[in-house]
Amino acid sequence: MKQEERAVAGAGVKGGARRGAALVMAGMLALLPSAAAAQPSGRPTAGANAPVTAAEPTFADLVSLAEAADVVVRLTVRRQAEVRGDRAMGLAPGQARLFLEGDTEALIAGTAPVGARLRWLADVPRDARGRAPRLRRQSVVVFARLVPGRPDELQLVAPDAQLAATPALEQRLRPVLAALLAPDRPPVITGIEDVLSIPGNLVGESETQIFLRTADGRPASLTVVRRPGQAPRWGVSWSELVDQSAAAPGRETLAWYRLACGLPRTLPEEADLARDPAARRQAVADYALVLEQLGACDRTRA
């Protein structure tokens, strides 16, 4: 083959490869979750090789990502290309949309097998110079759904559902995954069903029971007990039994997450079984105590 013919043939092969990659990218863009669905609130990190996320994920971040995912995979990035223009619609300021390809290191969670090499799209923070970070050879953890009929592609559960893989992250993540897979895991809280506050025989004595609504209909309730001369005590029960001895959940547990991130900020009026104004005020005060002691459901992601 003449030199000119070889050059033309080579250009045709490269052009075909580029067109093939563009078609794959176009298909994956159609699967990308809405950028408005989940955007990180942290500021971009400086440096050309910036970490994959702008802020350390909170416990609530990890639970919400893991709970939405079919698979959690650790990968080594082998190839990246920035998605620009119309294909990056909905991209938040300070973010870059990347088409990524990587080798599977480990399937951290998920029952379905994944390919040895995978492709996905992710929104990542730009560095201080406004450039997309260079992720080639970096390890990342992605929270994703499987794409039917495309075993070599993943769809992230949110545009930013990609984190820098570190031993510290996996140490925090594995207990979360184990808790979500446990048969006795606490149900998702969707609201408050009923509230009942009963005064005791002594001044300052009362018991408030708050019955919760759950996504799967399983029982859940809060009990707040006040005794004269003692600090108020509250606990949660995940069974039909309303137990005065029930304890409050520890922070950064799935039970804590269900309550801190699932309970409404105020007690709905229609949920109060007692029409006595004093009992109503007591129930409101006891519910406020529970929220205060649970603390905020902090997130770095919207």
Domains of the chain plus CATH, in order, are 31-181 (2.40.50.120), 189-294 (no CATH)
Q: What's the pLDDT at 37?
A: 38
Q: What's the pLDDT at 87?
A: 84
Query: Considering only 36-40, 112-116, 127-131, which range has the smallest mean pLDDT?
Result: 36-40
Query: Considering only 24-33, 154-163, 230-239, 251-260, which range has the smallest mean pLDDT?
Result: 24-33
Q: How many Cβ atoms are within 10 Å of 269's Cβ, its own excluded?
A: 9
The average pLDDT across 136-146 equals 97
Q: Where does the pLDDT of residue 270 fall: very low under 50, low under 70, confident under 90, or very high at 90 and above?
A: confident
Q: What's the pLDDT at 28?
A: 58
Residue 150, burial from CB neighbour count under 10 angstroms (0-12, 13-18, 19+): middle
How far, in Å, CA of 176 to CA of 171, rounded? 9
Per-residue pLDDT tens digits for 50-102: 344 457 999 999 999 999 999 999 999 999 999 998 888 889 999 999 999 99
Q: Which residues face 120 on adjacent strands? A: 100
Per-residue pLDDT tens digits for 214-241: 999 999 999 999 999 999 999 999 998 8
- 46 or 230: whose pLDDT is higher? 230
* Average pLDDT of the chain to the nearest whole number: 85
Q: What's the pLDDT at 11?
A: 44
Q: Where does the pLDDT of residue 265 fall: very low under 50, low under 70, confident under 90, or very high at 90 and above?
A: very high
Q: What's the pLDDT at 70?
A: 96
